[in-house]
Amino acid sequence: MDFHIVTVSGDGIGPDVVEQGKRILDKVGEKFGHSFQFEEQLAGGVAIDATGEPLPEQTVEACLKSDSVLLGAVGGPKWDNLPNVRPEQALLGLRSRLGLFANLRPAELFAQLAAASPLKPEIIGHELDLLIVRELTGGIYFGEHGRSADGHAAWDTEAYSTPEIERVLRVGFDAAAKRRGKLTVVDKANILETSRLWREVARAMAAEHPDIQCEYLYVDNCAMQLIRDPKQFDVIVTSNMFGDILSDEASMLAGSIGMLASASLGDRASSKGILGMYEPIHGSAPDIADQDLANPIATILSCAMMLRYSFDLQAEADAVRSAVERVLDKGYRTGDIYSEGTQKVGTKEMGALIAAEI
């Protein structure tokens, strides 16, 4: 099959890691008889430099026409103090314009990297595999924001409707059904009305999913439980802001943020499946940009998620994953996951090693 992928390399190490993602997809294409065509578009700081806007309309239109989007990273100190524009607006814009309401963030600790987790071995064990499903186009990120006339009061509004909650919960229930069958709905229902609505909707859906063990947890408790006993979790589903916070916390359990992939999905069909946006969860790390130092594995695993979720190419996705595992087994590491006795390699070599294992 032929796939048309828009790459939004963005800023900092974005281009370094996207280059390796493309290399991996090319190798998958060669091995499995697919062809991936890439089209680069601007977003973030590079787009501000080139056009004055963080998210040019042309980029949105190209993404809407594509089969899938591979994003590197956006942002950097160069664009931190501009009046009225920020590179991060590109991310929010892409999420909402592409209708990507469900953000899947797996926190996985590979056995080979168990020593990189800051948790004691008796807590983390050898492996960790949990999935955070974060609502991505609603809640306080997209509610009404405002400032009083005198500038001394401000507000941001958390708002959710039943259909918005239902569609992201459905992604959570489906994911749990394919995994270990446990779903944790995280909220602040002791305080927030939106959270009480989340619980109501979740309880009604749980009644229709007797196969899933569904439980409810307040977000503060969840933050604590993630450190106390992360293995109790399978799938966590939560609102936009709680998901933002908990997914950073969970990423740390997995050792290096340089390993973690993500998928943002909606219900818009592309010509080859479901339109999605795939990106490493790390940022643009401008201090190491263009020096062959970044870990490309998060982006490569994001490409595996693209194969799995947008294109339903399960064997291809598995092949990428096992290639990553074999390279780790052989002892190759980028600087962020290096430990004594392993062999340090750069961004490009890591990409080449993984491609060679496919």
**Using CB under 5 A as the criterion, which residues of the chain lie in contact with Mg ion when the complex forms?**
244
Quote the longest CA-to-CA distance of the chain. 63
Choose, by CB under 6 A, the member of 26, 88, 166, 349 that binds ligand IPM: 88
279 binds, among Mg ion, ligand IPM, none (CB under 5 to 8 A by kind): none
Contact 51, 60 (CB under 8 A): no
Q: Which residue is nearest to ligand IPM (CB)?
A: 88
Distance in angstroms (rounded) separating the CA atoms of residues 336 and 256: 7
Burial environment of residue 148 by CB neighbours within 10 A (0 to 12, 13 to 18, 19 or more): exposed
> What is the smallest separation between the CB atom of 131 and Mg ion, expressed in angstroms?
16
b/e per residue 234-255 (b: at least 16 CB within 10 A): bbbbbbbbbbbebbeebbbbbb
Q: Does 107 bind ligand IPM (CB under 6 A)?
A: no
**Side chain identity, residue 337:** I
* 248 counts as catalytic: yes
From residue 38, give the alpha-carbon distance in Å to each of 25, 108, 348. Answer: 10, 28, 19
Q: Which two tokens stand for residue 71?
A: 């994003």
> What is the smallest separation between the CB atom of 26 and ligand IPM, expressed in angstroms?
27
Distance in angstroms (rounded) separating the CA atoms of residues 302 and 42: 19
Looking at residues 244 to 263 of the shown chain, list those that interact with ligand IPM (rule: CB under 6 A). Answer: 244
> What is the smallest separation between the CB atom of 262 and ligand IPM, expressed in angstroms?
8
Catalytic residue among 16, 27, 67, 141: 141
Looking at residues 185 to 244 of the shown chain, list those that interact with ligand IPM (rule: CB under 6 A). Answer: 244
91 binds, among Mg ion, ligand IPM, none (CB under 5 to 8 A by kind): ligand IPM
Q: Whose Cβ is closer to Mg ion: residue 227's or residue 245's?
A: 245
Contact 336, 254 (CB under 8 A): no
From residue 274, give the alpha-carbon distance in Å to each of 153, 206, 244. Answer: 42, 25, 23
Catalytic residue among 188, 234, 278, 336: 188
| 290 contact partners, CB below 8 Å, separation of at least 6 | 13, 15, 16
* 141 counts as catalytic: yes
Helices 14-32, 297-305: axis angle to 10 degrees equals 50
135 binds, among Mg ion, ligand IPM, none (CB under 5 to 8 A by kind): none
Write the binding mask 140 to 179 for ligand IPM: x where contact by CB under 6 A, - elsewhere: ----------------------------------------
Catalytic residue among 80, 156, 220, 290: 220
Write the binding mask 38 to 77 for ligand IPM: x where contact by CB under 6 A, - elsewhere: ----------------------------------------
116 binds, among ligand IPM, Mg ion, none (CB under 5 to 8 A by kind): none
**Residue recorded with tokens 């089209």:** 39
H helical segments located in 187-313: 193-207, 219-228, 240-253, 297-305
> What is the smallest separation between the CB atom of 248 and Mg ion, expressed in angstroms?
5
* 318 counts as catalytic: no
* 336 counts as catalytic: no
> What is the smallest separation between the CB atom of 28 and Mg ion, expressed in angstroms?
29
Q: Does 91 bind ligand IPM (CB under 6 A)?
A: yes
Q: How many CB atoms lie within 10 A of CB 224?
A: 12
Contact 199, 189 (CB under 8 A): yes
325 binds, among ligand IPM, Mg ion, none (CB under 5 to 8 A by kind): none
* 218 counts as catalytic: no
> What is the smallest separation between the CB atom of 283 and ligand IPM, expressed in angstroms?
7
Q: Identify the bridge partners of residue 5 per DSSP, sorted by sequence position.
A: 38, 68
Of residues 75, 338, 102, the one with CA closest to residue 235: 102
Catalytic residue among 2, 49, 248, 290: 248
> What is the smallest separation between the CB atom of 244 and Mg ion, expressed in angstroms?
4
What residues are labeled active site?
A: 141, 188, 220, 244, 248
Chain residues in the site for ligand IPM (CB under 6 A): 88, 91, 244
